[in-house]
Amino acid sequence: MSVAPPRPKGPHLNALRAFESAARLKSFAAAANELCVTPGAITQHIKALEAWAENDLFVRRTRGVELTPLGEELLPEFTAAFDMLGSAVQSLRTKSTPNKIRIATLPSIAQLWLSEKLGELRRVAPDISVSVVAVETSPNLARDPYDVSIFFKHGELSSTETDLFQDRIFPVCTPEIAARLTSVSDLEGETLIHDSTWAGDWGYWLERVPDSARDGKRGPTHSLFSVALEEACNGAGILMAHEALVLAKLQAGALVAPFPHKVSLDRSLVMDVAPRFRNTVACKMLKLAMIEKLSA
Q: Are strands 100-105 and 148-153 parallel, antiparallel or unpaired?
A: parallel
Q: Which of 242, 233, 289, 203 is nearest to 108 (CA)?
A: 242
Minimum distance from residue 163 beta carbon to a copy of itself (Å): 25
In whole angstroms, how close is the CB of 57 to a copy of itself at the nearest point?
8
At residue 57, the 3 state secondary structure works out as coil
> With CB cut-offs between 5 and 8 Å by kind, which of DNA, a copy of itself, none does residue 60 bind?
DNA
Measured distance CA(71)–CA(20) in Å, rounded: 9
Rounded CA-CA distance 52/84 in Å is: 24
97-136 mask for a copy of itself (x: CB under 8 A)? Answer: x----x-------xx------x---x------xxxxxxx-
* Residue 15 interacts with DNA (CB under 7 A): yes or no: yes
Label the pairing between strands 192-195 and 148-153.
unpaired
Q: Is residue 16 close enough to count as binding a copy of itself by CB under 8 A?
A: yes
Which helix or strand (DSSP H or E) is residue 78 part of? helix 69-96
Q: Which is nearer to a copy of itself, 79 or 191 (CB)?
A: 79
Q: Which of the residues 240 through 259 are near a copy of itself (CB under 8 A)?
A: none
Least separation in angstroms between residue 24's CB and DNA is 12
- Binding pattern for the stretch 63-102 against DNA, x by CB under 7 A and - elsewhere: xxx-------------------------------------
**Which position among 20, 21, 34, 46 is part of the footprint of DNA (CB under 7 A)?**
46
Contact (CB, 8 A) for 26 and 67: yes
Q: Which C-beta is closer to DNA: that of 18 or that of 150? A: 18
* 50, 56 contact by CB (below 8 A): yes
Q: Regarding beta strands 65-67 and 58-60, do their DSSP bridges make them parallel or antiparallel, or are they unpaired? A: antiparallel
Strands 148-153 vs 58-60: parallel, antiparallel or unpaired:
unpaired
Half-sphere exposure of 270 (CA within 13 A, CB side): 16
If binding means CB under 8 A, how many residues of this protein chain bind a copy of itself? 52
Q: How far is the CB of 131 from a copy of itself (least distance, A)?
A: 5
Which of residues 27, 44, 78, 162 is near a copy of itself by CB under 8 A? 78
Nearer to DNA, 48 or 254 (CB): 48
Nearer to DNA, 60 or 180 (CB): 60
Compute the distance between CA of residue 19 and CA of residue 49 in angstroms, rounded to an integer. 8
Closest alpha carbon to 226 in 113, 86, 122: 113
Tell me the β-bridge partners of 174. Answer: none
CB closer to DNA out of 49 and 184? 49
d(CA 126, CA 106): 24
* Minimum distance of a copy of itself from residue 165's CB (angstroms): 22
Site residues (CB under 8 A) for a copy of itself?
A: 1-4, 6-11, 13-14, 16-17, 34, 36, 53-55, 70, 73-74, 77-78, 80-82, 84-89, 91-93, 95-97, 102, 110-111, 118, 122, 129-135, 145
Contact set with DNA (CB under 7 A): 12-15, 18, 27-30, 32, 35-48, 58, 60, 62-65
